[in-house]
Amino acid sequence: MSVSSLVGVIATGGGAVTAPLAGAVSVLLVLLPGLALSLLTRPAHAVERLAHSVILSCLVGYVSFWVYLQDFAWGRWFTMGVLGVSALALGVAAVVARAKIFEAELLRVLGIVLATVVVYLSVLNLVSFDGSQGQLANTFFFPQWNDNTVQDSAAAQLFAGQSMEKVEGWRLSERPPLQAGFLVMSGVPFFGSSLWLQAAGVAVNSLWVIALAYVGLMAGLTRRALGRVLWLAVLVGFLFNSSVYVWPKLLAGTLVVLGAAYWWYAGTGAAMGGRLWLGIVAWGGAWFAHPATGFAVGLAVACGAVVGWRMIRQRPPHRVWTLAVLALTLAWMLVPWSLYKSRQPTAENVLLHYHLGGVFDGQTDGSVADTIVASYQQRSVGEVMARKWNNLRTLLLPWGDYGEGAIEWRRRDYYHLSAALGVLNVGWLVWLAHGVARWRRRRTPAADEMETVPRMGPPFIGALLVLGVWVLLEFGALAPEIAVWLEHDFGPPLALTILHQGSYAPYLLLVLVAAAWVAQLPDWAWRTVAGLHLAVFGWFYGLTPRALDGAGGVNIAVVLTLGAGLAGLCLACLGRWSEPPHSSSASSTMPGVRSSGRTTGSGSPGL
């Protein structure tokens, strides 16, 4: 095959092997503007530069959406200008100014993201399928709704200058379009293929790898432990499903995690203002990505209280200026979208009526507040409490008869927290054993030999805050007809608060905490758990029959990309890391990080 014909195949999306390659290219395109803007910042370490890049690319994607909405021709010029100027700026900084941008650690974490996307898209395309990439992702795990193609269609319509009144049957006002902004910003619509839109969507929704790497380091994990954590996280079935089923909940969860981390670990002094500003951009971007961000209000309030306490200790001029900039930034990100929604023919807020009041598909003419009040008025306190208890137990454990087989296993992964964590639940046992050991040690003279203890407490408590708010608010008191509809559609009885309907931020944080504990096991135990984890992922997501119709034989070329992706993932995650002089990446001035003298092993993620 000639070079020109090969380029033609890649550009038009011919062949399943194109998808993993398109995904890898899309990662670079998505992060390019953010990396260029990060030259204006002074990150504490290489992974923080990548985290900056995610948030700043989010900002450029946000602007891209509004430019395209005004005029698609301006939008195309804007995309070309952003990508061209970004590449030029990075090239000049790296070659001429000799700036230390592409440090080994940055390239390593970026390599993990690339390997993740290649592995995910390779597994997705392992078996031939007669249909689009969107249809493939929609039916790969088990038959699902078409929510995964809404953002792709929005991006295609924006790029073509078509009407945005309806996207896949939804009003745009009901589907916040940050992911579509990411897609048009990356330039992938220029390739004219739905495959590239799907691949870029997977790239955007795999940025959670960077968020977990950042929080893990700020919480004090060593690089060796962080590599183990990321390897475990990439092979979690729920994250695989949510990364390739490209509705924007995982993007929103990623931005919530980064927003909370930037506020919690803002520190003091000169770096504080920059982190607070990036945090507010992340929070605003999360809201612009998916309304499930609203369930993270408890986490936002907690982190905001920490920020407020620190700012009280700053000089008044600095405090007033910082607050003003944060308020203006948040208003700039939220007000235009609110105004746009208010000008739609009907600003009915279907999803808010559904999630907060239990009324779906426009079955109410009142406001969201009216729906919520009506949901509770006809229920006694005991009935309301019983429904909230059902919410909690349905979230935590698989209830009902799912049957056997890989497809039903995937349903459990998608609906219930304990099933979605899978083998990583071993981490809670390690945590318990560590807690008992610490308690016994404190009762002996050896108590002064405690090692440096990175803190997993803040991520764990943050996850509980989000889950607690969600369990209390979801579906109001739940009208009986909605309960019947949910049982019919989702299978298990009492299917109220199933995992995929809430914010994904707490799940990301719990994966981090559980995997951090597993990473502390001795090498032989770690290898045993990691091997079991890989076997479960491979069997239930890679080797067993798909749920889709029209599947054919195995794509040999995709087997090669899968092997290359897994090899790259193992090398990047489990190879030798260069540890900094101090085991904890988080400053001792930051909350939730305690140092007591010396380091042993990988560092234990204490509470």
Return the sign of the alpha-carbon dihedral for residues 397, 402, 407, 411.
negative
Which helix (H) or strand (E) segment holds residue 532: the answer is: helix 523-537
343-398: per-residue pLDDT in tens? Answer: 766 555 666 777 776 666 555 666 777 777 777 777 777 777 877 787 787 788 77
Question: Any residues with CB less than 8 A from the CB of 348 and at least 6 apart, and which?
Answer: 171, 174, 362
pLDDT of residue 361: 56
Is residue 182 predicted with pLDDT exceeding 80?
yes
pLDDT of residue 229: 96
CB-based burial of residue 445 (10 Å sphere; 0-12 exposed, 13-18 middle, 19+ buried)?
exposed
Is residue 204 predicted with pLDDT exceeding 60?
yes
pLDDT of residue 362: 54
The arithmetic mean of pLDDT across residues 314-342, rounded, is 78
pLDDT of residue 448: 38
DSSP-derived secondary structure for 544-561:
SPPS-SSEEEE-HHHHHH
Using CA atoms, how far residue 435 sits from 92, 282, 439, 514, 605, in Å, is 51, 34, 6, 14, 11
The one-letter amino acid at 177: P
Is residue 552 predicted with pLDDT exceeding 70?
no
- Of the candidate ranges 331-345, 457-471, 497-511, 563-577, the one whose mean pLDDT is the lowest: 331-345
The arithmetic mean of pLDDT across residues 84-99, rounded, is 86
- Of the candidate ranges 173-177, 220-224, 477-481, the one whose mean pLDDT is the lowest: 477-481
pLDDT of residue 33: 96
Q: What is the distance between the alpha carbons of residues 58 and 255, in angstroms, rounded to a whole number?
A: 9
Tokens of 381: 């306190």
Is residue 594 predicted with pLDDT exceeding 70?
no
The arithmetic mean of pLDDT across residues 447-473, rounded, is 73
Q: How confident is the model at residue 169 (pLDDT cuts 50, 70, 90)?
A: confident
The arithmetic mean of pLDDT across residues 230-247, rounded, is 93
Share the mean pLDDT of the chain.
80
393-417: per-residue pLDDT in tens? Answer: 778 877 666 666 677 778 888 888 8
pLDDT of residue 57: 96
pLDDT of residue 128: 79
